[in-house]
Amino acid sequence: MSSVRVSRHARRRAIAAVATVCALSAAPLAPHAAAADNPPYTETYRPQFHYTPQKNWMNDPNGLVYYKGEYHLFYQYNPNGNSWGDMSWGHAVSKDLVHWKELPLALSHDDKEMVFSGSAVVDRNNTTGFGTKTNPPMVAIYTSLDNSTGTQAQSIAYSTDRGRTFTKYKGNPVIDIGSKDFRDPKVQWYEPTKSWLMTVSLSAEHKVRFYSSKNLKDWEQLSEFGPAGATGGVWECPDLFPMAVDGDKKKIKWVLVVNINPGGVAGGSGAQYFVGDFDGKKFTADNKGSYTPPEGKVVQDFEGAGFGTWTPTGKAFGETPASGALDGQGEVTGFDGKAFANSFHSGDSTTGTLTSPPFAVDDRYLNFKVGGGKHPHQDGTVLERGPVPEGTVLADFEGGTYGDWKVTGDAFGTAPAPGTLPNQLPVTGYMGEGLANSFRDGDATTGTLTSPEFTIDKNYIDFLIGGGNHASGSAESTAVELLVDGKVVHSATGNDDEALSWASWDVKGLAGKQAQLRIVDNNTGGWGHLNVDHIVLSDTRAEPVSRETSVNLLVDGKVVTSATGADSESLDWASFDMRPYAGKQARIQIVDNNTAGWGHLMADQFTTASAPAKSVVQRADWADYGKDYYAAVSWENTPGDKRHMIGWMNDWEYAGAIPTTPWRSAQSIPREMALRTVDGRAKLTSQPVKSLASLREGKAATASDVTVTNTSKPLVGPKGNGKALDIETTFSLKDAERFGLKVRTGAGGEETVIGYDASAQELYVDRTKSGDVGFSSAFPGVQRAPLKAKNGKVKLRILVDDSSVEVFGGSGESVITDQIFPDPASRGVEVFAENGSVRLDQASVWHLGSYRD
């Protein structure tokens, strides 16, 4: 059988999410991360105008409702720590969606349940009987996670004191279908039927279900929607609401928001939406028609008897293209013609490559289809293990004992393991006859191994690591940690694979320091163990072995861009932008270097073209194209029937690893939503709420009628620099290929680039040099959003905060939200143009104050 995708059940997804932090991402934590001694709200990276709790973990916004002059923001909250766990509802209120006041915990977890995401309504007609018509109850509808069974059901609680205290209903749950993937109810009053309407997610099935009730207690199922659009991850936090198209109240469409994790347009978490019609029972999405990729020249379609001029190595791809699914593989779909490259020969256990001959880059894009495993290429990795680094061996786990290492718990036993332990998959890649292996009694045990102190007197610490991928700092980590002064400064995990591979930490900046190593297994779930061997202080950096399943473009022998499958047997379009490599020699290499789950790759239809092909995910509609906008939901019962939306400003790929303390995560700026006609279709647009202007301090610093050619220079001088800014700009296109702003620029080349690609007609944010990007391999990168110039002009509204940027392009049809973690001294703002000129028609920069003032 083909590899089986494990359902990311329960909102314990946080553990699965931080597990995607790269095993080899071992950069030090930011030097400013430890801020426990700072007064509250003055810590490094603390947002000024984005809501954050004073301390502890926060994720999804919940219970968004307006009542008696207050906007209520409830949210997923851990009252007991700065990582995911003990899920409860935190609470804040605002009179203007900008100035927030944190209130005491609203709904608490207990021994029986955790309180997951949901919504709140004002029961004005007292249909529940929980209040009176003169004092109607506020009713919270939430997902209750049964701590003993993992079952998710819908429950209610009520408040008669404006949401300050809640009482859980004794008849809970009000809907229980016996599922572990049934969550996040959004409830509203549906006037045509004088009843309550619930929109709730069947997460693993990629479906949304609709229910109706007269009293919020007794519910009747109406219909289901899905699967549709992007389905690469679980569907969560749905929202359904009507909107007037282009402000015409006679032309109403319904918008269904479905948040997805992973599988968002930027690769991790994302907020997808559908536009369509709702008839009181059923939602029907508008038909967007079929997709035809750009025409071009086919360079490899695998329709011949063999691979032609392409060179295979290893056994994974066999001797000829595959004509369909191979033995043990699930149904394969999405390939063109009769054949394609498929590395599932002998299942996931084989590895190999398939490489094209060199070719001159003379087209803008390389389009192709790809499917199979999602194991991205990582810079600095090699396909085969190199020599053992020489130096001071800190531990080799030979000799039958742990020596002077301290052992706690049961996971590591009393002595090193001789290799594979009972019921464990074969462990490979270790040296000698022993290793640290925490699979004692399976994944059920926990414990630590801690080294004696040693002096860092060489440039690198190299070691072999395998096993579970659960990041340091998460509630259930499986990690190797380097401690200096008792604090974790480097960490690494396994890659959900029993094969050990080299990892390496650059410790030149810690020369002369006393340090300790700690091997941690705090996890009792899947892949809740760790394998470690041969830890050495060396002046040579060990080269980690790649575990990728990827299609790579090689220029000058180096991988310059890459794509993977989506843990699916369906092939979908991907595209490489080859414009930066025009005139150079390149190769295409299809790599399968993975033997774990989804350790195979499929590829087909390599075509050069003048425009990029778009995948199903790229063709879906997104409320935001950034990495850090998730669980987006809207307020009910707002004045003037305006639709305001807010999202969790984080991503499950690295949520538990971002370098903030004593709080973790922020909410996005609330946004005013509209449905506008863009390119002939109704699309959801957003702009920051108008009340944000109340935080502007003094007059704007301005610039106008400035032509910028092949350079980068200050936007408006020192008055335009800062950490909390509201920037409005208008550019007129000339011949520059790319132009825009660089914010939070500073020493060491720090910058966050907010640009427009004129030929691709894309807005982009590049945070690869934005500051601390090393805590996760999923963090650095470039996010892109389609955006057409209007009358030759590009308008941008940019919100810059201590640890984020939010970019609104055009009329708000393209939005990118990204976290950044720059040095506090990086405050510069520059305007730039590349490969030509652009005219900056106008720029205004306001400094923003704190929402707590």
By annotation, the residues acting in catalysis are 60
What separation in angstroms does the CA of 840 have from each of 497, 654, 708, 755, 761?
52, 36, 7, 13, 18
DSSP single-letter state for residue 13 = H
- Work out the number of other CB atoms within 10 angstroms of the CB of residue 338: 12
Q: Residue for token digits 């003094």?
A: 698
**Beta-carbon contacts of residue 269 (< 8 Å; ≥ 6 apart):** 17, 233, 259, 260, 261, 262, 627, 629, 630, 631, 650, 651, 652, 653
Amino acid at 175: I
Q: How far apart are CA 77 and CA 104, in angstroms?
A: 11
- Give SS3 for 385: coil
Q: How far apart are CA 625 and CA 620, in angstroms?
A: 11
Q: Residue for token digits 């694979």?
A: 497
Q: Residue for token digits 């996890």?
A: 523
Q: How far apart are CA 355 and CA 657, in angstroms?
A: 36
Half-sphere exposure of 354 (CA within 13 A, CB side): 28
Pick from 532, 534, 536, 542: nearest CA to 454: 536
Amino acid at 443: D
Half-sphere exposure of 32 (CA within 13 A, CB side): 15
**Beta-carbon contacts of residue 34 (< 8 Å; ≥ 6 apart):** 487, 661
Q: How far apart are CA 362 and CA 401, in angstroms?
A: 61
Strands 530-538 and 568-577: unpaired
Burial (CB count within 10 angstroms: exposed 0-12, middle 13-18, buried 19+), residue 241: buried
DSSP single-letter state for residue 28 = P
Residue-wise DSSP of 700-748? EEEEEEEEEEEEEEESS-GGG--SSEEEEEEEE--S-SEEEEEEEE-GG
Q: Hey, what are 74's tokens?
A: 């409830």
Residue-wise DSSP of 128-145? TSSS-SSSPPEEEEEEEE
**Straight-line distance from the first to the last Cα atom of the chain, in angstroms, rounded to the nearest whole number:** 60
- Work out the number of other CB atoms within 10 angstroms of the CB of residue 681: 11
Half-sphere exposure of 133 (CA within 13 A, CB side): 1
Half-sphere exposure of 136 (CA within 13 A, CB side): 15
* DSSP H/E element including 618: helix 616-619
CA dihedral 293, 296, 300, 305 (to 10 degrees): 90
Q: Which residues on adjacent β-strands are paired with residue 798?
A: 727, 807
Q: How far apart are CA 385 and CA 377, in angstroms?
A: 16
Q: How far apart are CA 92 and CA 173, in angstroms?
A: 26
Q: How far apart are CA 138 and CA 124, in angstroms?
A: 9
Asked if residue 809 lies in contact with residue 682, where contact means CB atoms within 8 angstroms, the answer is no
Q: How far apart are CA 392 and CA 401, in angstroms?
A: 19
SS3 content of the chain, % helix, strand, coil (to 5): 5, 50, 45
- Work out the number of other CB atoms within 10 angstroms of the CB of residue 406: 12
